[in-house]
Homo-oligomer: A and B are copies of this chain.
């Protein structure tokens, strides 16, 4: 009955502190906010609220929580408050968390699968392969909103929001291989765009993990509005 594991030398307050990070990440809204900040550098409370669909006051409250736990930092500019991730380690951890969660939870995989439409995954391109493909003359298409593109995008990418895609198909050089990307791993825009492009005879692939994964690999500096 002495118990294996060495309880007698380890005390509680450490585990209480240790649980704080997980607590901060244990809420879908906060996770969404972190994900937004991960791909978009710096955003105001209002922008975050609009993009996440969380009520403004609640957004503010959740950001306080994230801030108190060292995951985000804030900067005031005039009347606005800008939030961003506390550092690259946070972004890196977030990526690992998402991958680990997808490995551990069959339900999460199912949810992603059903949300992305079950249909083919369009042969995803890893963010590390992208440079090589681009040298081969592959066309890189950013299917997020013009707004998001302006906020930051992969260098050399063409902005072609999903909503305008069907109208602007003729702008694309025929018979080119296309790589479409959107926000992050849970964004449905690039698979949908891929579907449309494939229907119109393009050879198309999607960027695995989207812009988020690319930024994680290459840093944001290179992506600043060129």
Q: Which residues of B contact A25 (CB under 8 A)?
A: 19, 22, 26
Nearest chain B CB to A196's CB is how many angstroms away? 14
A3 within 8 A of B: yes
Which of A21, A71, A182, A187 gathers the greatest number of chain B CB atoms within 10 Å?
Answer: A21
Check A147 against B2 for contact (C-beta < 8 Å): yes
Interface residue total, chain A, C-beta cutoff 8 A: 77
Check B148 against A20 for contact (C-beta < 8 Å): no
A128 within 8 A of B: no
Check B186 against A151 for contact (C-beta < 8 Å): no
> What is the interface of chain A mostly: helix, strand, loop, or mixed?
helix
> Complex formed: what's the CA distance from A111 to B20 in Å?
13
Q: Which residues of B contact A162 (CB under 8 A)?
A: 9
Question: Which 9 pairs between the two chains have the least Cβ-Cβ distance?
Answer: A3-B50, A5-B51, A22-B25, A15-B28, A3-B51, A17-B108, A70-B104, A22-B26, A5-B36
> Chain A interface (Cβ within 8 Å of chain B)?
1-23, 25-29, 31-32, 35-36, 39-40, 43, 46-53, 69-71, 86, 89-90, 93, 96-98, 100-101, 103-108, 111-112, 115, 144-145, 147-148, 151, 162, 182-184, 186-189
25 pairs across A/B with beta carbons < 8 Å? Answer: A1-B46, A4-B40, A4-B51, A5-B39, A5-B40, A5-B43, A5-B48, A5-B51, A6-B182, A7-B52, A9-B187, A10-B186, A10-B188, A13-B111, A14-B108, A18-B108, A19-B28, A20-B107, A22-B31, A25-B26, A26-B26, A70-B106, A89-B103, A90-B104, A93-B97
